[in-house]
Structure formats: structure tokens, C-alpha cells
Amino acid sequence: MKTQNLLRWSLPAGFLLAVAALALAVWSYGYRQALNGLAERSAADLALASDRVSTQLQVYQELAVLTAEHPVLADLSTPAARAAAAELLRSVADKTAALDVFFAAADGRVLAAAEGVTGASVAAADYFERATQGALGTGHSVLQPEGKRAYFYAAPAFAPDGGVRGALVVVADVGDVEQTWRGSLPAVFFTDEGGEVFIANRSELLFWRRSAEGQTPSVTDRGYFAGHEIWRLEGSPYLPARALHLSVGLPVIGMTGEILVDVAPARRIAALQAAALAAVCLALGAMLFIVMERRRTLAEANAVLESRVEQRTRDLSAANTRLRREVREREEAEAALKRAQQELVQAGKLSALGQMSAGISHELNQPLMAIQQYAENGAAFLERGKAERTGENLGRIADMAARMARIIKNLRAFARNESEPMGQVDLVQVIDAAVELTAPRLKADRIDLRWNPAACAGPVHAWGGEVRLTQVFVNLINNAADAMQGQVEKVISISVDIGPRLQVRVQDSGPGIKEPEKMFDPFYSTKAVGSSEGMGLGLSISYGLVQSFGGNIRGANTGGGAVFTVELEPWREGAEKGDAA
């Protein structure tokens, strides 16, 4: 009797545990889905706020560039000229709501200003030093004693001989920029390179650092759920206690845009879904329990009806047979599904290789051109009887053929989930090889390549694959050469910066990057439709190769062209692949 009672009550207890587990799973799934939707909307809000701030500040950048070459500012050697310039700058500041507009000589002395908020000299300012180098300088700081936050744009003014004679600086009022979107979105703020909040739509966030101790609000915990970063905040009645955190880089203004969105609605939605499911399951369970109890009572009352029991037993046996047959059929269906999945995996890999066919031709194009050039040179030297020079060219052809074999080996390894072994690579030799491969094209296009291996004072060892890393720099050099088509001055500069992470910069004097957000997209190209010079895969391939080394590649406009920076991990003696990465 005790065993029967225990069995009788163990089933409801197990059912309740199952309902609790199912409700928890539904809550987790509902919370994940709600967070996904919240993240999409928050990303759109952050992009909107970032675009709004960048666009408003961009007006002051254009103002600085356009005003720098104003005829009134051409000669400020006399007091009268400086007075006229100050009147002009005051008019410009009044019409554009700028905090100040001033012109500083090349030594940093402020010759004419609308308000003079920065004092008599800006020689030590980073944005001014940048402008004296011929580029557009930017910066931000808090003006004293007013305590106003200001963003600076410094445009160089060039002398007739081409040198920089000074800079026109526009000082934008960050508080005025904030007025147009303050309070219209969740908490949005923009941090500088030091992690300090400089622009925000919540005043309590200004000059806040998330890692600083003793500040309010404070971040007590940062965790992840379903790939989303969740912050726990304390100390502010205007910020959510638990918030979804998203961020986006804004290299145009040198800051990072961030947003905090309350996840309480998402949690409530998930809780409601879990509660609704639990209620339905409990209702069904109660009905099932009542039915089972009624059946048990009927079974006890009709125990004498053995014929009916026997008939029921035969029915149950037949049902069991059918269930076994269905189980066997389902097992066969699952086996067929697994085979189909394996075939789909292989088909997907073949499809990827098919899509890479254009990239394969791009990878092999440069070595083939080099082999052709060396072969033609070797034939010419052979006709002249210069066997030694002919041998050198044949040796180089052999090297190019070996390099092509390594490239093909990498492609074959891709099909087998393998890759070229990575290890210690001499970065100087890799750049020399890329320069050598592109030298005929640069010479034909009359491009001045500025690369000084001696400045590195010896080999620079990086972590990567020699063949793929060489292809990265070949792609960057060719991309820079393509960008300078039609330019009068064609200069490509390559430099290496040795630090915690190795940085290689490839800079050109072309028109710059037209759409920076698309430059690493496959098949994106600014060349005319039908052009045979490229398929828009160079930067995309380079991006993937550098990422495979654990590095990073980024591009930016310099005001006088474009610069691509390749960051690589330095080689450490005795380091394994996992350590270097």
C-alpha cells in the first residue's frame, strides 16, 4: 500500500519538476529573443545618435577647411590686417554658433580670434601640431574657467611655396551639439581614447569612467547572455539597474559611441511567457491527474470484468507494436537526415570553393606577372650572352613558381581544413618581397615608393604566414596604386612601428577612401564597371588573412590620401601558436 501511495504521488512531483524545467527553458529562450530584438533597435538608435553627432561636428570641420584659405587671412603682418581678420572670424563664429574661430601662425601664436578662448598660443595643442604637418587636426578639451566642453578642428593654411604658414581653428560647443538629441533616446554617450565620457545625453554621465573607483554610477558587474553584454549599474536613479550595452567605433571624431538600454521589459516578457506556459501545463496536468484518478477508481470498481481487461491488454499490445514500428521508422529517418546533413556540409564547402575562384585568380595574378617579366628579362640577357644574369632570372622564376605552389598548397589545405603553418616571419623581408613584386607596375605608373628597410635596424619578427602576409602587402600596394590613377603626384610610403603590437602603415597620396564602411566588403570596388584591373577582392582577402594571424587591419583618410594600418602580433621566442595569438 505504501509503495502504491509513493508511486501515486511521485508522478505529480516529477511532473512539477518537469514543468519548472520547461518554464525555465522558455524563459531563457524568450529572454534571448527579446534581447535580440532589443539589441537590433538599440544598434539602430546608437547609429542614429552617432551619425547625428558626427554630422553636426562635420559642419565645423568643413567650416575650418573652407575658411582657412580666405583672402583676408592671407597676410596678417600688420595690426590693421589682424583687426580685419578678427572681425571676419567673429562674424563667422556668430553665424555658425561656434565658441571661437581663430587663426594661429606656424609657431602657435594666435594672430586673430573671434573670442580668444584658448589664450595667446596653441603651440602645444595636438590638433595644431597635426595641422602644421599639412593634415586636418582634431581634438577636444574642457575650456577654463568656463568649464565648457569644446571640440577643435584645425585646417592648415598653405603658403605659396607649399609650406604651412598657419592653421585656422574652429572651436565647436559640444554642449550645443547635445541639445538637439538630449533625452530623446536611452542613455547614449561617447568616450575618448582614455575611456572618459565627453559627450552624452545624460548629464550625470559626463566625465564618467566605467573603471574608475568611487564614481557614480558604478558598474558592479558585466556579464554576457546569449552573446549580449549586460551591465549592472548602481548609484543613479536615471539609469537602469540592469542594462544592455552596445558600442561602435567612430574614427571620424576619434571616439567610441556607447548605449545603455534597460533590459527589464525583456525580462518581463520572458517571465510572462514562462508563466503562461507553466499555467497551461499545470492546468493540463491537473486535468490529467483527475482523469488518472477517475480511471484508477473505475479500474478498482470493475476489477471483476476480466474480459474487458484482457481485451484492453490486447489493445495495448497492439499499440505497443505500432509504437515500436514507428520508433524504428523514426530511427531510420534520423539516420537518413544525418547522411543528408553530411552531404550538405560537403556541398557547402564546394560552394565556398566555387565562390573563391575569383579570389584564386587574384592570388596567382601577381606571381604569374612576375614570372612573365623574369622570363622576358632572361631571354634578353641570354641573347646578349649574359649567362649569369640569365641564371638569376631563372632562379627568381623558380622562386615565384615555389611561391605559387605554396599558394596552391594553402588552397588545397583549405579544402582539407588545413592552412599554411604559421610561425616566425621576418616582416622586413616580407615587405621587400612585396615591393619587388610590385616594382614593375609602380615603375610603369611612375609612382614614387618610399620604403627604407634600414630604418628598422635589422629583422622584425612577427607571427604569421610568409606567403599570405606577402600577399597582404602586395594587395595594399596595388590598391594604393589603383587609387592614384590620374593623380599628378603619386607617392606610396611604407613604415614599420615596433611596439607591443607591430604596425605597418601603407599610405598613398590619392583621393582617399570614398566609402570607409564598405572598403573591406567582398566585390566592392570604385573602378568603372567592366574594368579589368580588379574585382574588389583585394582588401577583403587581406582583411581575412590578417584576421587569421590574430592581427587587425584598418583604413582611414588622412586629408591627403588614405592610410592602411596592419597590426600583427610580434614573435616571442619559444611561444606556441596559442601564446602568440
pLDDT band at 578 (very low <50, low <70, confident <90, very high): very low
Against a cut of 0.75, is the pTM above it?
no
Query: In angstroms, rounded to a whole number, what is the distance separating the alpha carbons of residues 119 and 113?
Result: 10
In the sheet with 552-557, reading across from the earlier edge strand, the strands are 448-450, 491-497, 502-508, 562-568, 552-557
Q: Provide mean pLDDT across the span 230-255.
A: 85
Query: In angstroms, rounded to a whole number, what is the distance separating the alpha carbons of residues 161 and 437?
Result: 36
Q: What is the pLDDT of residue 130?
A: 92
Outline where 69-143 has alpha helix (H): 79-96, 126-132
The length of the chain is 581
At 1, is the secondary structure helix, strand, or coil?
coil
Q: Are 478 and 441 in contact (CB under 8 A)?
A: yes
Q: Provide mean pLDDT across the span 397-404.
A: 82
pLDDT band at 1 (very low <50, low <70, confident <90, very high): low
- Nearest alpha carbon to residue 548 among 429, 422, 426, 362: 422
pLDDT (tens digit per residue) in 296-314? 788 777 777 777 778 888 8
pLDDT reading at 214 higher than 70 = no
Query: In angstroms, rounded to a whole number, what is the distance separating the alpha carbons of residues 59 and 92?
Result: 13
DSSP readout, 211-277?
T-TT-SSEEEEEEEETTEEEEEEES-TTS-SEEEEEEEEETTTTEEEEEEEE-HHHHHHHHHHHHHH
Q: Which residue has the higher pLDDT, 310 or 180?
A: 310
Least confident of 63-77, 208-222, 227-241, 392-406: 208-222
pLDDT band at 523 (very low <50, low <70, confident <90, very high): low
Q: Provide mean pLDDT across the span 261-287.
A: 87
- Other beta carbons within 10 angstroms of residue 489's beta carbon come to 11
Q: Are 166 and 106 in contact (CB under 8 A)?
A: yes
Q: Provide mean pLDDT across the span 287-297.
A: 82
Q: The cell 590578417 sits on which residue?
A: 546
At 400, is the secondary structure helix, strand, or coil?
helix
At 116, is the secondary structure helix, strand, or coil?
coil
- Nearest alpha carbon to residue 145 among 108, 119, 182: 119
pLDDT band at 417 (very low <50, low <70, confident <90, very high): very low
pLDDT band at 90 (very low <50, low <70, confident <90, very high): very high
Q: Which residues of 427-438 are buried (b: 16+ CB within 10 A; e: fewer)?
A: bbebbebbbebb
pLDDT (tens digit per residue) in 369-380? 888 888 888 888
Longest distance between any two alpha carbons in the chain, whole Å: 124
Q: What is the average pLDDT value for the chain, to the nearest integer?
A: 81
Q: Are 151 and 57 in contact (CB under 8 A)?
A: yes
pLDDT reading at 336 higher than 70 = yes
Q: Are 224 and 207 in contact (CB under 8 A)?
A: no
**Helix axis angle, 264-301 relative to 2-68, nearest 10°?**
160
pLDDT reading at 102 higher than 60 = yes
Q: Which residue has the higher pLDDT, 255 or 416?
A: 255
pLDDT reading at 169 higher than 90 = yes
Q: What is the pLDDT of residue 187?
A: 87
Query: In angstroms, rounded to a whole number, what is the distance separating the alpha carbons of residues 104 and 123?
Result: 9
Contacts for 394 with CB less than 8 Å, ≥ 6 apart: 374, 378
pLDDT (tens digit per residue) in 463-511? 888 877 887 888 899 888 888 888 888 999 999 998 889 999 999 988 8
Q: What is the pLDDT of residue 145?
A: 79
